[in-house]
Amino acid sequence: MKGKILVLLLVFVFLFASGCAGEDSEAASEESDLEASAEPQDDVQQENVSSGSAKDHVVRLEYYKVIRPSELDVQTGDTVSWWSGKRQGTYILVSEEGLFEDQELAYSVPYSYTFNKPGSYLFTVKDVPEMNVTINT
């Protein structure tokens, strides 16, 4: 009886370990894909969009009053996606120039905006003024 329990326990451990390894390799693959497309510009990950020469840019809102990057240069027609790294609660993204209504950002649910007019735009996080990013087109 003890032998069967030991074998069953080993099977479960093996299945659990193989499932975890698959998730890790998949996550590592996704991370390496993102790193491969990243340009060395303040940890901004940029990916080509399938239509034309427009690009996607990522702005990360992190804990401890950090937003990365703090300044970003994009081309007209490029899209910026804001991602919240705050697991509990939300951030409120504010466009100081009124490009869009205030956006509530939940963890891992991005908000994207395409910049179609040249200019310099300031975005802040409501109630956390030191969390801001300037986007220049």
Supply the range of the domain harboring residue 83: 56-136
Residue 50 lies inside a defined structural domain of this protein: no
* H-helix segments, 84-128: none
Residue 107 lies inside a defined structural domain of this protein: yes
* CATH code of 126's domain: 2.60.40.420
Place 39 in a pLDDT band, splitting at 50, 70 and 90: very low
Tally of domains within the chain: 1
Residue 25 lies inside a defined structural domain of this protein: no
Residue 26 lies inside a defined structural domain of this protein: no
Residue 48 lies inside a defined structural domain of this protein: no
What CA–CA distance (Å, rounded) separates 95 from 130? 14
Interval 48-102: pLDDT, tens: 333 468 899 999 998 778 889 999 999 999 999 999 999 999 999 999 999 999 9
Residue 5 lies inside a defined structural domain of this protein: no
First to last CA, the chain: 71
Residue 112 lies inside a defined structural domain of this protein: yes
For tokens 């080509």, the residue is: 48
What's the pTM value of the predicted model, to 2 decimals? Answer: 0.61
